[in-house]
Amino acid sequence: MSDAGSDPVPFELGAGEGRQHAPATLRNRDAIAAVLSGVLPGSGTVLEIASGTGEHAVHFARLFPHLSWQPSDHDAAAITSIAAWRAEAGSENLLPPLRIDLLKEGWPIATADAVFCANMTHIAPWPATLGLFGGADRVLPPGAPLIVYGPFLEADMPTAPSNLAFDASLRSRNPEWGLRSLSLLDDAARTSGLVRTERHVMPANNLSLVFRKARKRPAGSLRQARFPIERSLS
């Protein structure tokens, strides 16, 4: 994981065993927590997709002790790192990590009360983002949130030079990677029965986006979402 505005190279997990550290987690976790505090339910389970090192999971489980925090990843090194951080933290509400491959429909969890995903969409093939929305549709009840954090491209907003450089760097490393268009995310969400209701401007040229499971399949555009919210966090 990587914050686009502060790290021009994406963080990648090492092959070694045990805990790993992603520097961006210390920089972005408090701003993300501020968004989560206004979005997460009062009880239930939060499914974190692409938990990476597991540092976000440890921090948020500690901040939200009334929630069960379920980390997950598809990468074996990530699963090992998450388990190591969890063992050290000793938080009763932090559950053992699940292996979830976003390119496959079968998730080893039937329901969740919220889904959270940070810094995944730009360092995975586009079908992984489609899998995120499709899976959220399957596990979330109507009205429940999917929170997605990371750098994105917006047609009506100038893109920061650091994000342009980050996008070019990603695509040079893997042509299937790259910053995603927010309009494409909105379209993918609608196809999976979710609508975007909030857009939070975050530090280091990132966004936190809140999508909610529609109570019935939306027939039209994002304008059907009630009370869209935009907020800046500095």
What is the enclosing helix (H) or strand (E) of 56? helix 55-63
Mean pLDDT calculated for residue range 161-170: 94
What is the enclosing helix (H) or strand (E) of 74? none
d(CA 210, CA 116): 9
Bridge partners of residue 212, in order along the sequence: 145, 195
Residue 6, pLDDT above cutoff 50: no
Residue 45, pLDDT above cutoff 50: yes
d(CA 200, CA 233): 7
25-232, what's its fold?
Rossmann fold (3.40.50)
Give domain limits for the chain.
25-232
Mean of pLDDT over the chain = 89
One-letter amino acid of 76: A
Residue 228: predicted pLDDT: 45
Are the C-beta atoms of 72 and 100 separated by less than 8 Å? yes
pLDDT tens for each residue of 78-130: 999 999 999 999 999 999 999 999 999 899 999 999 999 999 999 999 999 99
HSE, CB side, 13 Å, CA atoms: give it for residue 115: 30
d(CA 222, CA 220): 7
Residue 234: predicted pLDDT: 42
Phi, psi of 18 (to 5 degrees): 90, -170
